[in-house]
Amino acid sequence: MSDTIEKIKCLIIGSGPAGYTAAIYAARADLKPVMYTGMQMGGQLTTTTEVDNFPGYPNGTDGTAMMEDLKNQAERFGTEVRFGLVTSVDLSSEVGGVHKITVDETKQIEAQTVIISTGATAKYLGLESEQRLIGGGVSACATCDGFFYRNQDVVVVGAGDTAAEEATYLANICKKVTVLVRKDYMRASKAMQHRVNKTKNLEVKYNTEIDEVLGDKVVEGVRVFNNITGEKEVIDVTGLFVAIGHKPNTDIFKGILEMDDTGYLITKGKSTKTNLPGVFAAGDVQDKEYRQAVTAAGTGCMAALDAERYLGALD
């Protein structure tokens, strides 16, 4: 453990659109922010090949390039971006209190404000072929990537409201959507199930799981099996959308910050304030509803403004 304790005004944990936008605003407010990127610098968007729905890119861009643009902009205003992982926290419950952070289990930091933008990790099936083709036809976000599969055949895996929403969204774009449900029923609300059943180009296969995602560099199909009969078949598709949920990256905050049953941080009203003073949450770590880069960036802006106002009220 390091004996040297670094004291800073604003610590940002996480480096996706929320974290970088918070950094831009915090730096411009002279909060001299320090960011720790986490193990995936740039967050989930670095696993996305093409980004066409973020304002300011009329010809589109790719996720890694966009995150590099945001990083460069944050650094231009003085943000210190560091590669490292926050491994433990000791957050104060006092207004004006000092928040103690440990990075990589050794470095000690004391921060007046903390902005948490650690995001959420999409859950995948865990197949080797699926992991290999993420960004090559395998996606966990229909709103993000559905456009690229216009007039094509795709598969959605999942049984809840998210899967139903993604399937009906894709049905407006794609030629045919096949939903694969592991059990003999959907967990989605009745209203969403009715919407699925009324969509003509949408087929639901129950008791069906994926055995392998087919294709070398891009998805060319999926081999599925009926988990009751064992019968296998190949479905020719160009896209696989996995909609089995997300896990917010909040494990180190459990028992410290208020969160819902699934681990998303709870913020107060329309602010980014958590239950502890001087601690703010932005992006997918507190948003399980929209989960878009642009909404994450918006809450990153809010978090920096909330942090600036919090510090201003202490003077």
- Catalytic site positions: 141, 144-145
For each successive 10 residues of the chain (315 residues), what is the average pLDDT? 83 96 98 91 69 87 89 96 95 97 95 96 93 93 90 96 91 96 93 93 97 96 97 97 92 97 96 98 93 93 98 92
Give me the pLDDT at residue 48, please.
Answer: 62
Give me the pLDDT at residue 112, please.
Answer: 98
Q: Could you tell me the pTM of the whole model?
A: 0.81
Query: Nearest to residue 42, comparing CAs of 283, 253, 252?
Result: 283
Give me the pLDDT at residue 3, please.
Answer: 64
Give me the pLDDT at residue 245, please.
Answer: 86
